[in-house]
Amino acid sequence: MKIVKTVDEVRVIVKEWKKEGLTVGLVPTMGFLHEGHKSLITRAVSENDRVVVSDFVNPTQFGVGEDLESYPRDLERDTMLCEEAGANLIFNPEPENMYFDDFSTYVNIESLSEELCGKSRPIHFRGVGTVVSKLFNIVNPDRAYFGQKDAQQLAIIKRMVRDLNFDIVGCPIIREEDGLAKSSRNTYLSKDERKAALILSKAVKLGEDMAKAGEKDTDKIVSEMIKLIETEPMAKIDYVQAVDAVSVKPVKEMTAPVLVAMAVYIGKTRLIDNFIYEG
Ligand code: AMP
């Protein structure tokens, strides 16, 4: 497996693969990989001849005061995980190689970006749309893989690929044994916070069970989830909301597909989780 740092190197390698008629899968990540990322890579390996994993903490999706500097990084460990999963290439650029000083072109997915996480992270999805578009242009993949863990991101990217004619594959959330959704940010949690963080997946389970039992009123589901989260003193809710899974606009009734998503601070760490009600 190769690790390359520049856009030009990736392009040369992928061009060679394409000349040989090989298909290429892309898994965009910010690194510090775990089983969640691995599930995407494994899926990509099973569906493509060659797989590129991008490992890049993308500065344009972090707002002022967010965790760009402290975001965990460990390329050596990431390399082992990618190798194990059967990836062929890691693209690990420096920010300077992705963004010129006078970079001035952004991909903004209107309307969907303003909901849920977009309220407290106003430039986040513009950064995501931009970097994912850049990666699509650099790697020119046949398929790209994204996790349901970042449900709003997935909905937004689905809209972007529909609007701009790309192609992607969504993959389910991978969880720790006790239910916590795997996340590179889980590493910020102290022992006590790690325990407290379980309240997110417990709330997801509660909401999901209510929906499965036939509850149609999203307000009832969300308020029960909020009540449960509020029993955890270390948790501070950013939002818990039910939205249409395609448009990301708030809905009052559980008419599938509905995305019930949350962002909750455990101490200083902002965690997200969700479920999709498919009916
Ligand atoms: P990140 O490195 O956090 O930007 O994530 C890169 C990709 O991995 C995104 O498509 C995420 O949705 C996906 N991902 C992260 N955590 C998980 C998880 N626990 N289960 C499934 N996919 C995940």
Q: What is the mean pLDDT of residues 161-185?
A: 94
| pLDDT score, position 165 | 86
Q: Is the CB of 91 under 6 A from ligand 1?
A: no
3-state secondary structure the chain: CEEECCHHHHHHHHHHHHHCCCCEEEEEECCCCCHHHHHHHHHHHHHCCEEEEEECCCHHHCCCCCCCCCCCCCHHHHHHHHHHHCCCEEECCCHHHHCCCCCCCCCCCCCHHHCCHHHHCCCHHHHHHHHHHHHHHHHCCCEEEEECCCHHHHHHHHHHHHHHCCCEEEECCCECCCCCECCHHHHHCCHHHHHHCHHHHHHHHHHHHHHHCCCCEHHHHHHHHHHHHCCCCCEEEEEEEEEECCCCCECCECCCCEEEEEEEEECCEEEEEEEEECC
Confirm whether 124 is a catalytic residue: no
Q: Is the CB of 173 under 6 A from ligand 1?
A: yes
Output the CA 68–ligand 1 centroid distance in Å: 17
| pLDDT score, position 270 | 98
Closest C-alpha residue for ligand 1 atom 17: 36
Output the CA 217–ligand 1 centroid distance in Å: 30
Q: Is the pLDDT of residue 140 over 90?
A: yes
Q: What is the mean pLDDT of residues 14-43?
A: 97
Q: What is the mean pLDDT of residues 17-43?
A: 98
Active-site hit among 34, 37, 124, 126: 37
Q: Is the pLDDT of residue 242 over 90?
A: yes
Output the CA 20–ligand 1 centroid distance in Å: 30
Give the tens place of pLDDT for each residue, 99-134.
Answer: 999 999 999 999 999 999 999 999 999 999 999 999
